[in-house]
Amino acid sequence: MNIIFLGPPGAGKGTQSKLLEAHYGIAQISTGDMLRAEVAAGSPLGQKVKSIMASGQLVPDDLIIALIEARIDRPDCAKGFILDGFPRTRAQAEALDSMLKKTGRHIDLVLLLDVDEDALADRIAGRFTCAKCGEGYNDLYKRPKVEGTCDVCGGHEFVRREDDRRETVAARLKAYREQTAPILPYYEEQGRLCRIDGMADIDDVTKQVFAAVDAITKK
């Protein structure tokens, strides 16, 4: 089962992808995580994309496709994969389909998290994580139970992603509206798109997601 999660940045794609991964045993692939790992490693590629990511712009298509092709060849993708936040343009969608066809794979389901952009801006700008274990928090929706102390590991250092700044968020949402939203008809025409109410409670969103996946696996 190969799945794509679409939706504006901060819609909850990462959260739902991890739940899918745990429930169905298929690997979550976050292109953002792959790129951030390159930045953290200080590789030539990481240095190249650092400024692009910080400004909220899109990384070149051929680079992303190459990263994905290498990633899905790993053993943990034997049962399938979940692409979190990719493709972001119709050109990427077509390039992804072409690459998958070449390797004997295809996309089974495209899940779209429908959300309110104004609420998203507040959600994204308020995000921060524990520097030690990576547990996620939010200024408005999920603060640590004990202020300044991670609920999971007890760490006291927290970090915020540079591309979560409010001005960068605005650029990312603009890019989504202009470039990603137009690819929805591409998947609708193929009968692979399923819309999910992303403004519902997390548990309700998860139920919708699992129901959509189960419907495909039973066909």
- Is 195 marked as a binding-site residue? no
Q: Is 32 annotated as a binding residue?
A: no
77 among annotated binding-site residues: no
CA–CA gap between residue 215 and residue 211 (Å, rounded): 6
Is 16 annotated to bind a ligand? Reply is no
**Which residues belong to the active site?**
13, 88, 127, 161, 172
Question: Strands (DSSP E) along the chain, which ranges?
Answer: 2-6, 27-30, 81-84, 109-114, 127-130, 136-138, 158-159, 193-197
Residue 172 marked in a binding site: yes
Q: Confirm whether residue 144 is marked as ligand binding.
A: no
Q: How far, in Å, CA of 118 to CA of 3, rounded?
A: 27
Residue 83 is assigned to a ligand binding site: no
- What CA–CA distance (Å, rounded) separates 88 from 84? 10
Q: Is 71 flagged in the annotation as binding?
A: no
**Any binding-site annotation on 85?**
yes
The helix (H) or strand (E) run that includes residue 167 is helix 166-175
Residue 153 known to bind ligand: yes
94, 182 contact by CB (below 8 A) = no
Binding site: residue ranges? 10-15, 31, 36, 57-59, 85-88, 92, 127, 130, 133, 150, 153, 161, 172, 200
Binding site for AMP: residue ranges? 31, 36, 57-59, 85-88, 92, 161, 172
Binding site for Zn(2+): residue ranges? 130, 133, 150, 153
Binding site for ATP: residue ranges? 10-15, 127, 200
